Structure 1
Amino acid sequence: MDKITRKTSFEQWLSPISTVLFDEQVNAHHLDYYTKKLYMASFTKLLLHAQLHETESLRAISDCIFSEELQEASNLDSISFSQLGRRLDRIPTGFFQAIFLDLVTQINEATNLQFRRKTTTPLKLIDSSTLPLNLKNHQWAKFRKTKSWIKLHLRLAFMEKGCSYPDKAVLTNAKEHDLGQLKVLIDDKECMYVFDRGYLDYERFDRMTDEGYFFVSRLRKNAIVRSIESFELSENSPVESDEMVVIGKAQKRTENTFRLLKVLDSKGNQLNLLTNHFDLSADEVAEMYKSRWAIELFFKWMKQHLNIKKFYGQSQQSVHNQVFLAMIVYCLNVLAQLKTKSKRTYLQISLYLKAALWKPARIWIRKIQGKSVP
């Protein structure tokens, strides 16, 4: 991370956002045409500042501009909450999505330099989580008579040393089944995909195998399985059995053979793991599935520490924009950790940033590096 001391910590935190890409997106979507005051650069800084401080409403964001430091950073001395709302509604989700994907690319480059997994197969974890909305204000996302929800379908890149980050995301109404997004989230043959029982589809498993994609999933206990061959296990292995199998009834059986592992979890419950990768050891496959817990922790962290509990706007576009802004904040914290080689958690990095927001960047950088601040 560069150490230009003239920057504030806030500016340093925002520095991975490419100004070239930002300007290209603004021009492509004509977002600053006929704008007299609330330009996209200023508006984006306000929104990221609000995410960082978990500001819950546009009115509260408007009130925050009372801060002289924020006025200087955003080039605004005042703005009404109604102007903020109209602006948020007009921004296409593709704008913030493009910034998010560019940050993901930067994280990929940084992690490739810093980390090397013990196995040659990187992990991509797939899962989804629902985000509740107010039914009265968000009828377009109605899920049940009394509830409105959207669903975040996510692919999380999992690296060693506890580093994980979202590298692809799709937002839909909660009615959308997880299986429908699997084809969107699987596009790399150089990794192992890990997902749970909600994505079970034997025909798709056959297609993935034929096309060269590797996966490990959890099989239902009542699945019809025919064993073809059993494999030997290493001593003291947590795996109880390792077999080559075909799945399904005679009329609708899988065309390919798969590998079925029976593993006991920490509570003594048996897990039936299915994979199409035969070159890894049984222990490696079991450990890969265990890594799936990281995406559950990500969703928990995101809901606790990012501002997606209350949404600023009522339109689908504004809600989706706010979710992508939350993931941009997460990626900025990941990049801060990687570029400073910090051992701090993302939460600590965020807390130190808020404490030193308008101070010189070197103060925040040294703090998250664990160095004394002169």
Structure 2
Amino acid sequence: MDNHRLFSSFGKWLALICTKTFTSAVAEAPQDKYTKKLMTSAYLKLFLLAQLQNREGLRHIADDVLCEELQRELGLTSISASQLSRKHKQVDPELLRHVFELLAKRVLAAQGTTAQHHKIKIIDSTTVTLCLQKFKWAEFRKTKAGIKIHMRLAYLDGHEVIPEKATVTVAKRNDRTQMEELVHEPGVTYIFDRGYIDYAVFDRYCRDEIFFVTRLKSNTHIEPREEMDVPAGS
């Protein structure tokens, strides 16, 4: 894809994100109070483009700003990797969370009533390893630090899923601590791994008609209440 087609498509994509709600939220946030060059709206556009183009680091992203068409879109003529790094520290992650959750709601709403027949949500976590020397607050092994991202995915028609909600904890925190944030809607079937097992919480789910599917641990005591046939080969 040439630059003209790329930025034409990019502008249409941005229109879904840079809405009046987003620009109002940016205006109310303090991170641009003393900023003269890299405003939050330009920062977001630049990193969204970097995600689309699979940029590997801040220097590659800074090099993108040499493109005149992107300069006009961002209102910048140049930027350095160090400036991008500083902006990372200034931007409130709650603002980005707001954008993420707003977009997820719009996608789900666009599915209409057909998606309501499924009401299936998947929960899983992944660990992101960090340098222990720089992130001592996130220590979880003798030589490593890390954070854990807990993601809730919503099932859509056509066997597709979208990320709907996420929480971030230090890596050594137990998965069960995030159940309150991620599982709470009656009538929905939640699917998650055995790291999230909490039998006391499961009792509450049954009372509240929150359905769930999980793998059992090998030492779990079970009492079959009913047996049902399943199709051969399933």
The answer to whether the superposition gives a TM-score over 0.5 is yes
1:171 paired to 2:165: no
The SS at the match of 1:221 is coil
Distance in 2 between residues matched to 1:44 and 1:173, nearest whole Å: 25
In structure 2, what is the equivalent of residue 107 of structure 1? 107
Residue 235 of structure 1, CA deviation = 5.7
> By how many angstroms is 1:121 displaced?
4.2
Q: Deviations over 1:169-197 (max 9, x none)?
A: 00111011100001110121131111111
Deviations 1:232-276 (A, max 9, x none): 4266474xxxxxxxxxxxxxxxxxxxxxxxxxxxxxxxxxxxxxx
Task: From 124, 143, 146, give the equivalent of 2:140.
Answer: 143
Is the 8 Å Cα contact of residues 118 and 155 (structure 2) preserved in structure 1?
Answer: no
2:200 paired residue among 186, 195, 203: 203
Q: Which of these two proteins has the greater Rg computed from alpha carbons?
A: 1
**Structure 2 residue 27 is matched with structure 1 residue 40:** no
**Aligned counterpart, 1:23:** 23
Counterpart residue number, 1:233: 229
Letter in 2 for 1:163: E
Q: Cα 1:127–1:232, aligned 2, differ >3 Å: closer, same or farther? A: closer
Unaligned runs of at least 5 residues, structure 2: none
Identical pairs, percent = 38
For residue 215 of structure 1, report the CA deviation from its aligned partner: 1.0
Q: Distance in 2 between matches of 1:194 and 1:214?
A: 9
Larger mean CA deviation between 170-179 and 81-90 belongs to 81-90
- Give the aligned partner of residue 78 of structure 1: 78
Inter-partner Cα distance in structure 1 for 2:10 and 2:99: 17
The 1:235/1:177 distance shift into structure 2, 3 A limit, reads: closer
1:261 is matched with none
More divergent stretch after superposition (64-73 vs 218-227): 218-227
Task: Please name the residue that 1:300 is paired with.
Answer: none
1:18 Cα offset (Å): 4.0
Q: Judging changes above 3 Å, is the alpha-carbon distance between structure 1 residues 218 and 182 closer, same or farther for their aligned structure 2 residues?
A: same
Between the aligned partners of 2:228 and 2:145, the Cα distance in structure 1 is 50
Instruction: Look up the match of 1:87.
Output: 87
CA contact (8 A) 2:150 2:178 kept: yes
Residue 181 (str. 1) matches residue 178 (str. 2): yes
The offset of 1:34, in angstroms, is 2.5
CA gap 1:230/1:16 in 2 versus in 1, 3 angstroms: same
Query: SS of 1:8's equivalent?
Result: helix
Q: Give the TM-score normalised by the residue count of structure 1.
A: 0.57
- Distance in 2 (CA, whole Å) between partners of 1:50 and 1:232 is 51
Q: Is the 8 A contact 2:193 2:214 kept in 1?
A: yes
TM-score (norm 2): 0.89
Partner residue in 2 for 1:131: 128
**C-alpha distance in 1 between matches for 2:228 and 2:64:** 64
SS in structure 1 of the partner of residue 77 of structure 2: coil
1:28 Cα offset (Å): 2.5
How well do the aligned residues superpose, as a CA RMSD in angstroms?
2.1
Q: Is it true that 1:161 corresponds to 2:158 in the alignment?
A: yes
Matched, 1:65 2:53: no
Count of aligned pairs: 229
> Which one-letter code corresponds to 1:230 in the other structure?
E
Name the residue aligned to 2:221. Answer: 224
Equivalent residue runs for 1:308-319 within 5 Å: none
Provide Cα deviations, 1:85-114, integer angstroms capped at 9, x if missing partner. Answer: 21110111101000000100111111226x
Secondary structure of the residue that 2:30 maps to in structure 1? coil
Contact 1:155–1:168 (Cα < 8 Å) also in 2: yes
> How do residues 3-18 of structure 1 correspond to structure 2 at under 5 angstroms?
8-18=8-18
Contact (CA 8 Å) 1:158, 1:165: kept in 2 or not?
yes
Greater shift in the superposed pair: 81-90 or 56-65: 56-65
Q: Which has the higher contact order (CA 8 A, sep 6+)?
A: 1
Cα distance in 2 for partners of 1:52, 1:141 equals 29
* Distance (Å, rounded) in 1 between the aligned partners of 2:231 and 2:129: 47
- Whether the 8 Å CA contact 1:151–1:173 is kept in 2: the answer is yes
CA 46–18 in structure 1, closer or farther in 2 if over 3 Å, else same: closer
2:187 touches 2:209 (CA, 8 Å); kept in 1?
no
* Secondary structure of 2:137's aligned partner: helix
Identify unmatched segments of 5+ residues in structure 1: 239-374
What secondary structure, in the 3-state scheme, does the structure 1 residue paired with 2:129 have? strand
Matches of 1:190 and 1:230, distance apart in 2: 21
| Residue identity opposite 1:25 in structure 2 | A
